[in-house]
Structure formats: structure tokens, C-alpha cells
């Protein structure tokens, strides 16, 4: 009996010693994308490199400047429209990212409900996540389909969740994935309740945000119309030679520059005052 107790104590001390001498292996740090790369990922354009976007902006700006210069023969006017055209691809990507985030926010409650139902039905957590590739909302299916394939090949749930977060590039998706990771690692028995509470919170947040966006949309639309109107008028008047000759002078260039600065500052100020808080990706 004493030998058995001594053996148990020895095994316990050995386990305690091994916990300090052999620390847990840390996961390798994933490469971080730049700000432009994160924007492309949030817009669902992971296959497009930041250099390609920059090249597209430069090409659009140069093309517009050459066309306007060939039409008006006024260098200041051509430079202004070249800058506007160069910013257009970046603005389109930002708009696409906002629309994609809004679209995913609308379908996440349904996806979380499907996860809670699958867990309550007795499915394992990896199988429940992989099942969203078939039963989940349409916008989320490609990402979860890739997750199912990754898990089938590697069997490493944590690494597959990391790649799933990269594909989703969504703040709500980050919270859901980290909740699943914690439940997997510590064996949380309240996963079903956690998912149901998260689904209820997401629905309340979506309802509130939709009401606020509907009320402040007039401010955003008014800012866009107010900024675009002077330049549309200038483009229409560029066909009149007497008007264009005035902008070819130094005074005309100063007027165009000041007008562009005022438009940018006014637009940024109006959109900032009417902008709703944006949820950032904290749990990357």
C-alpha cells in the first residue's frame, strides 16, 4: 500500500515538473496584412493584392487626366479629375467592404442558431461548424466549405479556425470563432446557451443599427450630392472654351485647389458627424 502511494506521489510530482520544464508550444504568428490588405479581405477580395489596387488607382487617375486634358486643354482641371478618378477604385472597395459587413451581420444570427441546434442535437463541434457549408446562410457557405475541407485534411481544429477567420475577415465572425475555440479547448458545457445568447444579442444589435442607418442615410446622401455637384457642373462647362481659359490661369488653379480642399474637408466632416460606430476586428 505504501509503495502504491509513493508511486502516485512520484507520478504527480513528475507531471508538475514536466508542466514547467516543457511549456506549451505556442502557435506560430500569422503574417499580418497591411491596412490595404485588410480592406481587400473585408471586401471579399482576398485574391487581389494591394499592389494591384494601387496600380488600378494610378491607371484610372492617369487615364482620366489624359482624357480630360485632351478635351479641355486645361492642366489644372485635368489634374483635379485625375485625382478624383484615382480615388474611385479605393472608394469602390471601401463601399464593397461596408456592404459585405452589413450582409454578413444580417445572416450571422441564423448561422449561430444553426450551430446551437446542431450542438443541442448531439453533433460534435467540428461537425456542427462544417455543416454550415450545407445548411448555413448562402453568404457564409464558401468560407465554411473551405473549413470543412481543411478539417478533413488536417484534423487540427484550432488551425482551421484561424484560416476560417482569415477568410471571413469579419468582426462578428471573429467573436463566434473565438467562442468556439474556447469551448473546444476547455470543454465548456454551456456552449448551447452561449450560442443562443449570442444570437439574441446579434439580432438586437442588427435591429438597432438598421434603424439608425435608415435615419442617418439622408446625411450621407446629402454629403455625396453636395460634393459631386460642383465637379459635375465643372465637367459640363469644360466644353466652353471661354470658361476653361479662366481655369488655365494661376488664379483659376488656386480656385480649383481651394474648392477641392473645401469639398474634401466638408465631406469628411459631414460623414464623421453622421457616422455610426464601426466595429473593428479585435480578435484577429
How confident is the model over 132-143, as pLDDT tens digits? 999 888 999 999
**Distance, CA of 235 to CA of 225 (rounded, Å):** 15
Q: Is there a domain that residue 183 lies in?
A: yes
Within a domain: 4: no
Residue 85 inside a domain? The answer is yes
- 82-131 pLDDT, tens per residue? 988 999 999 899 889 888 988 888 898 899 888 888 888 888 888 989 99
Question: b or e along 237-259 (b: 16 or more beta carbons within 10 Å of the residue's beta carbon)?
Answer: ebeeeebbeebeeeebbeebeee
Is position 97 within any domain?
Answer: yes
Asked if residue 283 belongs to a domain, the reply is no
- Would 30 be classed as within a structural domain? no
Q: What is the pLDDT of residues 227-278, one digit of tens each?
A: 888 888 888 887 777 777 777 778 888 888 888 888 888 887 877 776 666 6
Written as nine digits, the cell of 204 is 438586437
The boundaries of the domain holding residue 241 are 35-273
Q: What is the pTM for the complete model shown?
A: 0.75
Number of domains in the chain: 1
Distance CA 270, CA 218 (A): 11
User: For position 254, what pLDDT does the model report?
Assistant: 85
Amino acid at each position: 500500500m505504501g509503495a502504491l502511494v509513493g508511486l502516485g506521489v512520484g507520478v504527480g510530482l513528475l507531471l508538475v515538473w514536466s508542466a514547467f520544464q516543457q511549456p506549451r508550444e505556442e502557435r506560430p504568428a500569422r503574417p499580418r496584412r497591411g491596412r490595404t490588405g485588410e480592406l481587400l479581405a473585408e471586401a471579399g477580395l482576398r485574391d487581389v493584392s494591394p499592389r494591384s489596387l494601387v496600380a488600378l488607382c494610378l491607371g484610372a487617375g492617369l487615364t482620366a487626366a489624359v482624357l480630360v486634358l485632351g478635351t479641355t486643354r486645361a492642366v489644372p482641371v485635368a489634374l483635379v479629375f485625375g485625382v478624383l478618378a484615382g480615388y474611385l477604385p479605393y472608394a469602390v472597395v471601401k463601399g464593397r467592404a461596408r456592404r459585405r459587413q452589413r450582409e454578413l451581420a444580417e445572416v450571422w444570427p441564423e448561422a449561430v442558431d444553426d450551430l446551437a441546434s446542431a450542438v443541442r442535437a448531439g453533433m460534435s463541434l467540428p461537425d456542427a461548424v462544417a455543416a454550415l457549408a450545407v445548411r448555413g446562410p448562402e453568404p457564409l457557405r464558401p468560407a465554411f466549405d473551405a473549413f470543412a475541407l481543411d478539417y478533413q485534411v488536417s484534423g487540427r481544429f484550432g488551425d482551421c479556425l484561424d484560416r476560417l477567420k482569415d477568410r471571413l475577415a469579419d468582426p462578428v465572425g471573429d467573436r463566434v470563432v473565438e467562442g468556439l475555440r474556447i469551448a473546444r479547448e476547455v470543454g465548456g458545457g454551456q456552449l448551447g446557451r452561449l450560442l443562443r445568447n449570442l444570437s439574441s444579442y446579434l439580432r438586437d444589435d442588427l435591429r438597432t443599427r438598421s434603424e439608425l442607418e435608415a435615419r442617418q442615410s439622408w446625411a450621407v446622401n446629402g454629403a455625396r450630392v453636395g460634393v459631386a455637384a460642383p465637379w459635375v457642373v465643372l465637367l459640363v462647362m469644360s466644353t466652353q472654351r471661354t470658361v476653361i481659359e479662366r481655369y488655365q490661369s494661376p488664379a483659376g488653379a488656386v480656385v480649383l485647389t481651394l474648392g477641392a480642399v473645401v469639398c474634401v474637408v466638408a465631406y469628411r466632416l459631414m460623414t464623421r458627424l453622421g457616422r455610426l460606430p464601426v466595429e473593428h476586428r479585435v480578435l484577429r
